[in-house]
Amino acid sequence: MLKNMRVGTKLVGLLVAPLLVLGILAGVGVTDRLQRADDARRAEQLAEVVAQAASAAHQLQLEQLRAVVVFGSGSAVGGETFESQQGVTDEALEAVRSSLEPFRAAGGPLADRADTLADRTVNLAALREQAGGARGSVQTILDGYEVLVDAATGIFEATVNEPSLPAITQDLVAATTLAGSKSAYAQRGAILAAALADGRVTAAVAESARAAGDEALRRSDTFYDQAQPDLKALLRNVQSSADTRALDDTTEGIYAAVDAGTEPQIDATRYADLNAVLLSGSLEVENEIARSVFTVASDERRSAIATVRLYLIGVSLGIVVALAVGFLVARAITRPLRQLMAAADQLATDQLPSLVERLRSPDEADEAPGLVQVQVGGRDEIGQLAKAFNAVQETTAQVATDQAALLRKGVSDLFVNLARRNQALLDRQIEFIDQLESNETDADQLKNLFRLDHLATRMRRNAESLLVLAGAEGARRRGRPVPLADVVRIGVGEVEDFTRVNLVALDDLSIDAAAAVDIAHLLAELMENATQFSPPETHVEVVGHRTRDGSYVLSVSDEGIGMSSEHLAEANEQLAHPPVMGLALSRALGFTVVGRLASRHDLDVRLTPSPTGGVTALTTIPPALLVDGPSTAGATPIASLAAPPDAIRGLDEPGLAGVAAMAAAPAVAH
């Protein structure tokens, strides 16, 4: 599979492993930060639980103070305050239950504490009835509220055991310690307030109150060891306030009166109010702890979320940058490779065939073919490969040009040498035959000499065809225009089976001297081809006519088997673009010779199907090669084409008179 992948895909694939590792590391980091964010959210919930638990414990402690005063005074004092406090306490209990709901489903210490608080608050209504109706004992009231306060303050202890942020553990421990100190102060105040309301403060009561006060101080000292400096300062301000000093002085007065054996003369309601002030101050410290926990948790959660976002943004940017860099690097490699590949493909499918075709063309054979070079910048391996590829192209073009030139020159020289030698021998042979013809009186012998002269003339045409293939000019050139009829007769005279050629109609005009011999040669090749590829009992007709643009069209039509459309198209292509003759000689040399002669004089030669079967060769002579004769209005009569031999001998062609006489005979008979 890797072998079939593109280079760019392979290069980008190299980034998969590091990007995968980056993604895994980012996933671990994101997971860790999300866990921290979840812990922070849980810490925020714990802060809410601390605040609500502190409020519930505080309201229960205040209600306990009011309850013992009402109970001791027989509902005569503080009844309204006690009833209003009950509503506040119920709201605080409901709030703490709501804050504990997220923890109830997960289980754990807080869920157990929530269940404990819910179970103990069931007895709160009965406890209130006892206090308001002064039924039972004051100790029952004290113990009943103490159980409820313990259930509320026990929530503080459970928060310490909940999994959360390490940064808030110290605050939670301090809050638990402060809650215990506050509960001890509330217990001391409730004990003394109940005794004052009852009017009997005994030594046992004082001793219990002192024990609770000592416990409060001990826990308070522990708080100072655990809490942060700002929380310590806040609690000191509460404990050093005027109300707190008044409470301490009042409490010490109660202890002094009991020690002296006298009854303290202190109002129970007043003493309960002083305790409420101290408890409210402590509540402020607890609330401050809850706010501190919430702030730390919120900051941690925002930081964790921000870190997650940074992770995601960083990873995304890293992936984008890596892919962009990989894409740019891959493009920097694949783009020149594609250019090189396209250049190689163009060289193989377009430029080299075009080069070969140009080298085959006689007109462009000597021109150096140009190959498009690959424009790849840079000095890397690809750039060096492109330079090497360009060097290969240049070398290929140069070698092809040199080899084609050498091949053409060698073949051309071979053709020219053979043709010149044959021409010299044939000219001497025709001259000798002419001498024999002039001295012969026997008709049979003269006929044989005419045939021998005709064969020599056809052999000379073959020698001239070699010169045409070699690109050399023929030796026969005229100095004045030649009548069209004579040009056609010359061509007929060079056809083997000339008796089958019928000249139907020709106009009275002449051909430019520079093209007359080549046109005769061209017509001879076409008529030779027509006679060879048609049945021997059929005739080949030659007809000429003028066109509207002033050109002249000579048609050579046979009644042979014809050619298929594919062969016609191939032959017309060869006539229009004759190939350069090399070592691989074509069998259709006649078409090549015709094409060369046509391109030499800007003639148009085209093969078409004949209406009666066979093939018609249309040769269009441009107006530049035509010279109007004295009578161009109508076609020359057929009989006039049978000119006597002396009329053609004026062309100074050796042996042409006999050939012309033989060529004229079938026309007259026809």
The strand pair at 509-511 and 552-557 is best described as unpaired
Exposed / middle / buried, residue 109 (Cβ in 10 Å: 0-12, 13-18, 19+)? middle
Q: What is the pLDDT of residue 107?
A: 79
The Cα 11–Cα 7 span in angstroms is 6
303-341 pLDDT, tens digit each: 888 888 887 898 888 888 887 887 787 777 777 777 777
Q: What is the pLDDT of residue 636?
A: 39
Written as one letter, the residue type at 308 is: V
In angstroms, what CA-CA distances link 28 with 19, 36, 40, 310, 586?
14, 12, 18, 14, 78
Q: Which residue has the higher pLDDT, 652 or 261?
A: 261
**What average pLDDT does the segment 7-13 reach?**
70
pLDDT of 350 over the 80 cut: no
In the chain, the percentage of residues whose pLDDT exceeds 90 is 31
The Cα 638–Cα 17 span in angstroms is 94
Q: What is the dihedral of CA 482, 486, 492, 498, to 10 degrees?
A: -170
Q: Which residue has the higher pLDDT, 104 or 220?
A: 220
pLDDT of 524 over the 50 cut: yes
Checking phi first, is residue 74 left (phi over 0); if not, alpha (psi -120 to 50) or beta?
left
3-state per-residue secondary structure call for 397-431? HHHHHHHHHHHHHHHHHHHHHHHHHHHHHHHHHHH
Tokens, residue 61? 């402690």
571-590 pLDDT, tens digit each: 899 898 887 665 445 556 78
Which residues, 6+ apart, have CB-to-CB distance to 460 below 8 Å? Answer: 422, 423, 426, 427, 430, 494
Alpha helices by DSSP H, 361-504: 381-439, 443-470, 484-493
pLDDT of 417 over the 50 cut: yes
**What average pLDDT does the segment 403-409 reach?**
63
Burial 269-282 (b: 16+ CB within 10 A, else e): bebbbbbbbbbebb
Q: Which residue has the higher pLDDT, 606 or 358?
A: 606
Neighbours of 245 (CB within 10 A): 11
Q: What is the pLDDT of residue 369?
A: 56
pLDDT of 654 over the 50 cut: no
Q: What is the pLDDT of residue 217?
A: 94
Q: Which segment of 6-15, 145-154, 190-199 scores lowest on mean pLDDT?
A: 6-15
Q: Which residue has the higher pLDDT, 395 or 476?
A: 395
Q: What's this model's pTM, rounded to 2 decimal places? A: 0.53
Which residues, 6+ apart, have CB-to-CB distance to 92 below 8 Å? Answer: 52, 55, 56, 58, 59, 60
End-to-end CA distance of the chain: 80
Tokens, residue 148? 């409820």
**What average pLDDT does the segment 460-479 reach?**
67
DSSP 297-313: HHHHHHHHHHHHHHHHH
Which residues, 6+ apart, have CB-to-CB distance to 192 below 8 Å? Answer: 201, 205, 206, 209, 251, 254, 271
Beta carbons of 446 and 437 less than 8 angstroms apart: yes
Q: Which residue has the higher pLDDT, 350 or 309?
A: 309
Q: Which residue has the higher pLDDT, 15 or 361?
A: 15
pLDDT band at 664 (very low <50, low <70, confident <90, very high): very low
Neighbours of 534 (CB within 10 A): 23
pLDDT band at 400 (very low <50, low <70, confident <90, very high): low
pLDDT band at 156 (very low <50, low <70, confident <90, very high): confident
